[in-house]
Amino acid sequence: MKRASAAAATLFAGSLILTGCSNADNNEGGSSEGSREMEEATGELRGEGASSQDNAIQNIFGPAFSSTGATLAYNASGSGDGQKKFIAGQADFAGSDSPLKDDQIADAKKRCDGNDAWHLPMVIGPVAIAYHLEGVDELNLSTKTVAKIFKGEIKKWDDEAIKAENEGVDLPSDPIEVVYRSDESGTSDNFQKFLAASSGEWDSEGKSFPTEVGTGAPKSKGVADQVAATNGAITYVESGFAEELDAVNIAKIDFGSGPVELNKDNVNKALGEVEFSGEGNDLVVDADKLYAMNGEDEYPLVLTTYEIVCSAGYDDNTAKLVKNFLNTILDNQNDELADQGYIPVDGEFKSKLEESVDALK
């Protein structure tokens, strides 16, 4: 079902400023374990980065956080920009769909007054292979075929490879219009890691997507809107943005054991096997292992959107604001979050997050 998301936030000067809503009003279907302890803190918490979590922040986390007596300013400028602003001390936390690179770790430690920066994968968003093809409401694509489409090696919708994966479907001879993120994006970074790990057909990497094939559009909403407006278009985008648009459908992906539908159960089956490559409370997900999963009914093409924070080194008030915000996210892993296109975290995954948040100083 398609949905229209109602923004519960005010945009001001490119940032999201949230105040004055009660947590009770924004936690229907909320945490089954009760609310986590909030500390007394006031003022504004500044965040910058991934647009993949913007719907969750606008509609759920931000309004709930305001009940602590503070305000949140979150600018969804993209993961790369968020990391840069955090390291420069221009943001208290970064939202990012990919971890800091090795050459950024030392600078982040300096920004944190000699303390490590931690990656906390608080927001889980499945990535959809979203397409707009009139007359074709259901589509199966193998990971190899997806890679070849985005490399420009498969150029038409009635290519033999696509036809073989969609027997009985009347595929038009329309050209395939690839749409990619034009800004530096953790989604692009993760999608390319996924293609490399799952298909063996991809050899580029990084937050910038190759520009040789297709058309670029900024941010998650931009690529989704571009696909909705273009018959024959295809993109990679967080599922919530695709689900909002009537003209856009989501393909089933064959990761190696048959086509898998993008849904909560199939994503959670993959999440149950997640391993962490970070040390201690630095919860960096081992993306190579995640994206190479090919079990039956497992959908491993997910973004683990990190809140990158200082493990210590903030002033006292900012440290409390950061902790309150992260606890707010943990308190709102619920059905309302699922309605926004995200996967609520639970079980051991959530327990690890709680331990890391509790260890912040």
pLDDT digits 0-9 by tens, 90-118? 999 999 988 999 999 999 999 999 999 99
10-126+274-284+303-359, what's its fold?
D-Maltodextrin-Binding Protein; domain 2 (3.40.190)
Q: Is the pLDDT of residue 19 over 60?
A: no
Give yes or no for a contact between 301 and 126, defined as CB atoms under 8 angstroms apart.
Answer: yes
- The radius of gyration of the chain from alpha carbons, rounded to an integer in Å, stands at 20
Distance of CA 358 to the CA centre of its chain: 23
CATH number of the domain at 127-268, please? 3.40.190.10
pLDDT digits 0-9 by tens, 219-250: 889 999 999 999 999 999 989 889 989 999 99
pLDDT of residue 34: 59
Asked if the domains at 10-126+274-284+303-359 and 127-268 fall in one CATH topology, the answer is: yes
| pLDDT higher at 78 or 116 | 116
* Higher-confidence position of 129 and 220: 129
- Extract long-range pairs of 205-211: CB within 8 Å, 24+ residues apart: 207/79, 207/80, 207/98, 208/184, 209/180, 209/181, 209/182, 209/185, 210/180, 211/180
Query: How would residue 17 be classed by pLDDT, with cut points 50, 70 and 90?
Result: very low
Higher pLDDT, 348 or 226: 226
Q: Quote the tokens at residue 246.
A: 């009537």
Instruction: Check residue 223 and report its DSSP letter.
Output: H
What gap in Å lies between CA 89 and CA 283, rounded to an integer?
A: 22
Which residue ranges make up each domain of the chain? 10-126+274-284+303-359, 127-268
Please name which of 75, 35, 31 lies closest in space to residue 53, comparing C-alpha atoms.
75
Structural contact between residues 82 and 48, judged by C-beta atoms closer than 8 angstroms: yes
Pairing of strands 70-75, 259-260: unpaired
Burial call 116-142: b when 16+ CB within 10 Å, e when fewer: bbbbbbbbbbbbbbbbbbeebeebbbb
Mean pLDDT of the chain: 89
Q: Distance of alpha carbon 356 from its chain centroid, rounded?
A: 20
